Amino acid sequence: MIANVKNTLDILNKYGIRPKKKLGQNFLIDVNVLRKIITAANVGPEDGVIEIGPGIGALTEGLMAAAKKVVAYEIDQRFIEILENELPRRDNLKIAAKDFLKADLDEDLEWLTDCARILVVSNLPYYITTPIIFRLLKSVLQASEFYLMVQKEVGTRLTAGPERKEYGALSVYMKYKTDAEILFSVSPNCFYPRPEVESIMIAIKRKTASLPVQSEEKFLEFIKLIFSRKRKTLLNNVSDAYGFDKEQLRSNFSAKGLNEKSRAEELEVQKIRDLYVLLFESPKP
């Protein structure tokens, strides 16, 4: 198996490759962690898997053994030859040598249409974790489950709830769109090169029942705004940004059971969404 330090070093030396820190290239070298990832995602023989950032193929190898088909997106052309040559079999692997953030997903993933379930399982490049997750959530992919290795700090923000210091705009957006949870921690010693940060595995599942808004883009802007100045109350933030009369805002807050001294980090996503709809999407008297 690729996922051990000897085989990883042998492959990198064979192809004369040095990992690029700026691209977040830290390769999994612990087969037990690899097995935990595949077990946590419950990858089965009828499943299609999307992997983003396969690198030299440690996780890819395990996914190919467990799934029906795997599509692997790799932006670093140096690894394409490795993926083509070093994996034990290639009949159920499609290598997409391109940037996932710019790819035509409909065209690339047509290959997975005969799979019973499509899911995303990846050790994500940490420097672009958030853009990748946003693209996954905004896409119309059939995939509804994402199992992702991410930097601990980012994963904590993605899954945080109200009253926690990590709770912010990203946390609210995730709770609006998904159910997300931390599965397990992964030591820096499980990677080569050893990263300077800790990692965690998270599970993200799209919500089947949504809290509808007319414009998700405007709602996201509202979320970002109310968390942008945490020292101010929610009422003052909204009044300053949108020019609402404070007396009218107090009335709106009262209608939604909100204290005028409330701060954004105290509120569940339902309360934030309800306030947004009242302010921007409800019929005016």
Instruction: Report the alpha-carbon distance of residue 48 to residue 105 in Å, rounded.
Output: 14
Based on the number of CB atoms within 10 Å of its own CB, is 80 exposed (0-12), middle (13-18) or buried (19 or more)? middle
Contact 15, 82 (CB under 8 A): yes
> pLDDT confidence of 284, banded at 50, 70, 90?
low
Q: Which two tokens stand for residue 281?
A: 């999407």
88-125 tens-digit pLDDT? 777 999 999 999 999 998 888 899 999 999 999 999 98
Contact 278, 252 (CB under 8 A): yes
pLDDT at 20: 86
147-203 tens-digit pLDDT? 999 999 999 999 999 999 999 999 999 999 999 999 999 999 999 999 999 999 999
Given a cut of 60, is residue 227 above it in pLDDT?
Answer: yes
Alpha-helical (H) ranges within 67-151 are 80-86, 105-108, 129-138
Length of the chain: 285
Instruction: Report the alpha-carbon distance of residue 113 to residue 93 in Å, rounded.
Output: 14
40-69 tens-digit pLDDT? 999 999 999 999 999 999 999 999 999 999
Q: Which two tokens stand for residue 156?
A: 């904590």
Cβ within 8 Å of residue 239, ≥6 positions away: 245, 246, 249
Contact 229, 237 (CB under 8 A): yes
